[in-house]
Amino acid sequence: MEWWQALVLGVVEGLTEYLPVSSTGHLLLAQRALGIAEGDAANAYAICIQAGAILAVLGLYRARVAQALRGLVGRDAEGLRLLLALGAAFVPAAVVGLLFDDAIEELLFGLRPVVGAWLVGGLAILAVARARRGAAPRSGRALEELRVGPAFVIGLFQCLALWPGTSRSLVTIVGALVVGLSLAAAVEFSFLLGVLTLLAATGYKALSDGQAMLATYGAGTLVLGAVAAWLAAVVSVRWMVAWLNRHGLEVFGWYRVALAAAVGGLLLTGVL
């Protein structure tokens, strides 16, 4: 892998990780466009550069992270409730992912399944946006009101994101809206849950396929990709929060539908 390819993949990862458009799908498309061969090393690289996106949210939401850590040591009751909610939401996808990781990679890691997920997810966003039309971003419960039971439901929604192209942030935001959180609280919880989920996925891939990844691409390209992902994720998260506070989710739905149509057409004509 050339340095500029690592830079491109890092930027793609950072820009799309927390948007409801699927970073995995965009990375698979980018790898295909850049001529990077499919395989365990490529899949591991796409997941491990998520470390940069994790650092971005840890920095941007350091006050919430600090609150959760204070809760862990018994110094903040709200922080403890948030930590328990994050744990409850994390468990379902972690268990399902461990049980079916190999099957998911074998059956669903490819552009054709991703195109289907883009289309289904786009239509789901448009349906949610229509149902919420006229609602203020902060209408609904605050994050401080989230409890373990509803958080576990959000975790069940997160299992849908194991289908590459679906988007983890999409299904967790929708799940949080379903259990009554405001859009602003849903987005924040999705970001924080992403830290746990992405950290677990990155660690798992580093342990299982890290040696193959480093042997194929080298450590330098991994660091470059992660740094690019960190910078791009900072920009993406700030933009997304500002956009949703003014406009809502609908634009992401139309983007996904258009992308599915475009990439699907290229696949049918043999261009990709």
Chain segment 184-198, per-residue pLDDT in tens: 899 999 999 999 998
Query: By CB neighbour count within 10 A (0-12 exposed, 13-18 middle, 19+ buried), where does 106 fall?
Result: exposed
What integer is the mean pLDDT of 200-227? Answer: 92
Q: Identify the band that residue 137 occupies on the pLDDT scale cut at 50, 70 and 90.
A: low
Q: Residue 135 pLDDT more than 80?
A: no
pLDDT in tens, 31-72: 989 999 888 899 899 999 999 999 999 999 999 999 999 999
Provide the pLDDT for residue 136. 67
What is d(CA 62, CA 110) in angstroms, rounded to the nearest whole number? 35
pLDDT in tens, 75-109: 999 999 999 999 999 999 999 988 887 777 777 77
Beta carbons within 8 Å of 197's beta carbon, 6+ residues apart: 90, 93, 94, 158, 168
Sign (positive/negative) of CA torsion 251, 111, 216, 197?
A: positive
What is d(CA 177, CA 185) in angstroms, rounded to the nearest whole number? 9
Provide the pLDDT for residue 231. 96
Q: Residue 138 pLDDT more than 70?
A: no
Say what angle helices 50-60 and 183-217 make with each other, to 10 degrees.
Answer: 150
Tell me the two tokens of residue 55.
């650092």
Provide the pLDDT for residue 201. 86
Cβ count near 177 (within 10 Å): 22
Tell me the two tokens of residue 233.
């994720």
What integer is the mean pLDDT of 170-183? Answer: 92
What integer is the mean pLDDT of 121-138? Answer: 81
Residue linked to tokens 């239509």: 123
Query: By CB neighbour count within 10 A (0-12 exposed, 13-18 middle, 19+ buried), where does 242 fall?
Result: exposed
* Average confidence score pLDDT of the chain: 90
3-class secondary-structure state, position 141: strand
Angle 98-99-102 (CA atoms, 0-180°, nearest 5)? 85
